[in-house]
A and B are shown apart, each in its own frame.
Chain A
Amino acid sequence: MTECFIYDHVRTPRGRGKKDGSLHEVSPLNLASQVLEAMRDRNDLDTARVDDVVLGCVSPVGEQGSDIARTAVLQAGYDQSVSGVQINRFCASGLEATNMAAAQVMSGQSDLTIGGGVESMSRVPMASDGGAWPVDPQSAFDNYFVPQGISADLIATKYGFSRDDVDAYAVESQKRTADSYKNKAFEKSIVPVKDTLGITLLDHDEHRREDATMQSLGSLNASFAGIGEFGFDGVANMRYPEVDGITHVHTPGNSSGIVDGAAGLLLGNADVGKELGLKPRARIKGFTSTGSEPCIMLTGPEFVAQKALDRTGMHKDDIDLWELNEAFAAVVLRFMQAHDIDHAKMNVAGGAIAMGHPLGATGAMILGTVLDELERRDLNTAMALLCIGAGMGTATIIERV
């Protein structure tokens, strides 16, 4: 099998995913194409050498529809020979796109690819693409469908995480993110987003709340108590009769933020790197996805991590840094509990609770972030992974070269 190397990682800063967010005026097409342009410009890339661009996007309708990957390739001025494909694995789309792009290289079918993702949540709201999963009664009933927030609260209830536990995790996420900013940890990867005149609109993640404390987070109302009463709590409890009702602990303060953003990773085999004068930063050691029980939905990381370790013949102690998307605090707490992982090795640079989770792009962002951290800390191996709608999990293991 051909080895696949990561040559570069580029991401936009994340803008608040609301009408007053700094990136709201930017179309998802421009978010994606600015990432591709930066990737080309900072590597002095002959784009004709890129075989394919794979971009994740979770609501591929409206201006995110019609294969936004190919549209972005053309918009960024890449050579017309570069194809593009948009894929959707819900919250892991950005990582899955990277894995698929890497798979092309590893199977010898492509030399140079870009994997990444884009989501403008302020312009194309979540669930804009509809879908049978929660709507079609046979699917909703048989899978005990509940919204993710209810699943996250179910995890907290079932595995014993209190409101204080999840808030404490969130405070730490904010603190680590603030430290990352202090240490300029993201400088290598973030490219400012510019408007049509070339004026910088945003050069930092704007969702952060550095001043968050237990007190300030504790004053927020639980987000999902209301919808729980519409029957979703009952459905979750029916599937998990061992819990005595659902305790609602997640709030906007300890859940991932809704934001806009895009990201990409430049992937290729050794030869193309040498030929183009690119320096490999890490190799893709392995990746995989899995499915687990869809009602509790967000415990997939536990299983996909084990699957990834087993498939690569590794042990959890071989992993120096873990990067699990902070969709909800309880997701990360449960993962650390299930695999007995030291918080000191987990999400060391902060995460989506502080910076936000632009659905289609996040997977590529966290893989890039953990790569930056391996380099900053001079460590070797990392696993990036995400919990995913309908009970899935996707993971990627990288190793510095």
Chain B
Amino acid sequence: MENFTIDIDHNGIALVTWDMPNRSMNVLNTSSIAELAAWTEDLSNNDDVKGIVITSGKEAFCAGADLEEMGGQLAGSALKAAAGDEAAKRDAFDMIFELNRVLRALETCGKPVAAAINGTALGGGLEVTLACHYRVAADHPKAQLGLPEAKVGLMPGAGGSQRVPRLIGVANSAPLILEGKALNPQKAAETGIIHKVVPAGEEVADAKRWITEDGDAEAPWDKKGFKIPGGGPYHPAGMQNFVVGNAMLHDKTFGNYPAQKNIMQAVHDGLVVPIDTALRLESKYFMKTLMTPEAMNMVRTLFLSSQELGKGARRPAGVDNTHVKKLGILGAGMMGAGIAYVSAAVGIEVVLIDMSQEGAEKGKSYTTTVMDKKIARGRATEEKKQEILDRITPSTDYALLEGADLVIEAVFEDRDIKADVTAKTEAVIPATSIFASNTSTLPITGLADASQRPDHFIGIHFFSPVDKMPLVEIITGEKTNDKAIAVALDYVRQIKKTPIVVNDSRGFYTSRCFSTYVTEGIIMLAEGVDPVLIENIGKSTGMPVPPLAMSDEVQLELSYHIMKQTKEDLGADFPETPAYPLIEKMVTELGRLGKKNGKGFYDYPEGGKKHLWPGLGALIGKQTAIPQEDIKKRLLFIQALETARCFEENVLMDVRDADVGSIFGWGFAPYTGGTLSFIDTMGAKAFVAECDALAEKYGERFAPNALLRDMAAKGDTFYGRFNPQKAAA
């Protein structure tokens, strides 16, 4: 065996240590599962062995399934099975059921099995421990125990959906198995998914103690008279968990996520039958989930691609690793203050410059606010807060920027002001430093004109609120060099966010495509489509906020200014839609500027719930009925189409940037796997046909571009034609 070592002590307790070679983490893959099966059988047949303790030789216990290997393999066979006959389905099922079979064999091996959980145990890793009769964890507050499968469109597939509700009841299981919420060892013990927490280093000893003193080799659900805590689905009390649980889940997911529904179904179906049948049912729903495009797309984008981008997949080769020690931030408004906090929090020395000392101090105080909240929730200490605050120097003095490796400007979106701060900064910082703009609207190449070193000038576009949003969009200007890109990427990695790299364009990638969504909502409103329908269907598309509410959130006033600027810049090329005049009227005539002033497409009564402005009907003055399906299509297709245009124009260079950016950047319906996966799933041919139909009915902006037409003709997909692995090779 290469993944496990076994040491049998004088009491006959076999200590199985999981320690996979050439890996920082233990994972479940073909090799480790085969060995798990082998030692389970060996130890159960070995009369000298009285009990088994399993632990890990690494810092974490196990990170779960190797999604790169297993994901591809299982999904491949599941998809083949979906298209194939019954025999293909049986084969795929057997493969998927194997881990459940092995773990059930461990659970019923006749000897007490204890898990000494020395660190993080996620997904299949936690499920291995759930098949043990006793679970003790080392008291590492940062260790995570959880089943995150649902977060990436999958479901627990190694007993998690069956053993967790049998342990702690259906209601308590929901956050763990439906939302993928992870718990630290203390919380896990309180919830009841593990038995005990001991000081780190004592877990193996405690596991052995349990085997000697107690050593019950029978799982609770194998005992006669076992009852589901809180009742199963047809128990009078347990029933409500499902009646209400179904509605809550349906309401929250809009039925867009097959994984969540399948998890609920597996729990429902599994709890009324014995565990052996239940595990088979779980594997069936697991396979059914794998067979959905949602699962494949979500795993690819939310897990694999986002990890690859986070690890520097888009970093230019040949530039040494860089590390930002000192960061300058110009402008201590909301964005500057947020950037200061996330940077100082990872140990970077920050100089926060504003026009007034008061403004700079106020920017710094944002860190105090964030940390105080964390302290109140028991997630930070006063010392930690002080340590982070000490790294932030608020000032009006540009001279303090001396020695900064990177300077990010987050001043008002005005070319002259930006040019001014660029000049002032470059007078102080070393020639090797990188200057970045956090602009969300102004083209980088133009801003770089104000720089003496346009090759060291780059866009680093943060999203608001900076400390919550996972994405950073890096924009290269015409002259930006590889070093600037590398520094920007290394910095984003330092602050633990996911970067995408795009070329310069109006609105870059994310703002440009996102704006098509809200604009399409406003166009429909202007056409006379019932705003109630626009908003309700907007919600059910899976976008986080429906388009008219979103317009209010980003402030109609801001949209108006951007559109006005664009119109001036583009002149005759400005795409005329009914959206612009409507926004203009709202802002300049009616003073309905957006949520901030309490009036937009919605009214925001103080202390009350927002509601659509009753004056909308009279303002629009007409009613148009269009098929509800068209509302959904218009809202989603326009965003995907704009992404395809960005790809053709080389604003986007990598399909991963497109998909990850669309979900992490502006919340494009996550179940699709992103804007390009959305097109790939439907097929370019169908997408083009739908767009042509939409263009015919609703306007030229839906006309597909040349790239899409070519892909449709050739039957290409984005991931096939622009495969990032192929490109790298």
Contacts and interface: CB of A to CB of B under 8 A. Distances in A.
Interface of A: 127-128, 130, 134-138, 140-141, 144-146, 227, 230-235, 237-238, 241-244
Say whether chain B's binding surface is mostly helix, strand, loop, or mixed. helix
Interface string B269-281: 0000000000000
Contacts of B236: 128, 130
Contacts of A135: 233-234, 239, 242-243, 246, 268
B242 A235 contact: no
Interface stretch (B85-93, B529-537, B670-678): B529-537
Given A141-B261, A238-B536, A241-B537, 11 more contacts: A135-B239, A136-B242, A137-B249, A140-B246, A140-B247, A141-B255, A227-B244, A231-B251, A235-B251, A238-B255, A243-B532
A141 B250 contact: yes
Nearest to B244: A230
A294 to B, nearest CB: 14
B540 interface: yes
Say whether chain A's binding surface is mostly helix, strand, loop, or mixed. helix
B252 interface: yes
A135 B536 CA distance: 26
A148 to B, nearest CB: 13
Contacts of B261: 137-138, 141
A130 B231 CA distance: 13
B725 to A, nearest CB: 37
Contacts of B628: 241
Contact of B247 (A127, A231, A241): A231
B265 interface: yes
Contacts of A243: 532
A146 to B, nearest CB: 7
B373 interface: no
Contacts of A145: 243, 246-247
Given A128-B236, A134-B246, A244 B611 contact: yes
Given A141-B261, A230-B248, A242 B239 contact: no
Contacts of A231: 244, 247-252
B128 interface: no
Contacts of A242: 530, 532-533, 536
B636 interface: no
A149 B284 CA distance: 36
A137 B258 CA distance: 11
Nearest to B253: A141
B254 interface: yes
A334 B97 CA distance: 52
B138 interface: no
B169 to A, nearest CB: 16
Given A137-B261, A137-B264, A241 B540 contact: yes
A141 B246 CA distance: 7
B217 to A, nearest CB: 34
A227 B251 CA distance: 13
A146 B533 contact: no
A36 to B, nearest CB: 30
Contacts of A235: 247, 250-251
A237 B536 contact: yes
Interface string B148-163: 0000000000000000
A299 B362 CA distance: 59
B612 A137 contact: no
Most buried by A among B246, B247, B250, B264: B247
A137 B268 contact: yes
Contacts of B242: 134-137, 140
B247 A238 contact: no
Interface residues of B, number: 29
Interface in B519-533: 530, 532-533
23 contacts: A130-B233, A134-B246, A135-B234, A136-B265, A137-B261, A140-B242, A140-B243, A140-B247, A140-B250, A141-B261, A146-B247, A227-B244, A230-B248, A231-B247, A231-B249, A235-B247, A238-B251, A238-B536, A241-B533, A241-B537, A242-B532, A244-B611, A244-B612
6 pairs of A and B residues whose beta carbons are closest in the complex: A234-B251, A241-B536, A231-B251, A140-B246, A231-B247, A231-B248
Most buried by B among A140, A230, A244: A140
A127 B246 CA distance: 16
A49 to B, nearest CB: 41
Contacts of B250: 140-141, 144, 231, 234-235, 238
Contacts of B533: 241-242
Contacts of B249: 137, 231
Contacts of A128: 236
Contact of B243 (A134, A141, A238): A134
Nearest to B247: A231
Contact of A230 (B234, B247, B254, B532): B247
Contact of B239 (A130, A146, A227, A241): A130
B394 to A, nearest CB: 44
Given A134-B243, A141-B246, A238 B532 contact: no
Contacts of A237: 536
A119 B640 CA distance: 57
B617 to A, nearest CB: 12
Contacts of A233: 251
B260 to A, nearest CB: 9
A227 B244 CA distance: 9
A145 B251 CA distance: 11
A232 B247 contact: yes
Nearest to B266: A137
A128 B247 CA distance: 20
A127 B233 CA distance: 13
A242 B254 CA distance: 16
Nearest to A240: B536
Nearest to B632: A241
A244 B265 CA distance: 30
A287 to B, nearest CB: 32
Contacts of B246: 134-135, 137, 140-141, 145
Interface in B383-425: none
Contacts of B611: 244
B629 to A, nearest CB: 11
Contacts of B268: 135-137
Contacts of A232: 247, 251
A134 B250 CA distance: 12
B309 to A, nearest CB: 34
Contacts of B247: 140, 145-146, 230-232, 234-235
Nearest to B609: A245
B288 to A, nearest CB: 11
Contacts of A144: 250
Given A130-B239, A135-B268, A235-B250, A244 B532 contact: yes
A241 B530 CA distance: 10
Contacts of B254: 238
Most buried by B among A127, A137, A234: A137
Nearest to B234: A130
B536 A137 contact: no
A322 to B, nearest CB: 33
Nearest to A135: B242
Most buried by B among A127, A135, A234: A135
Contacts of B251: 231-235, 238
Contacts of A136: 233, 242, 265, 268
Nearest to A230: B244
A73 to B, nearest CB: 29
A11 B540 CA distance: 49
A123 to B, nearest CB: 14
Contacts of A146: 247
Interface string B531-561: 0110011001000000000000000000000
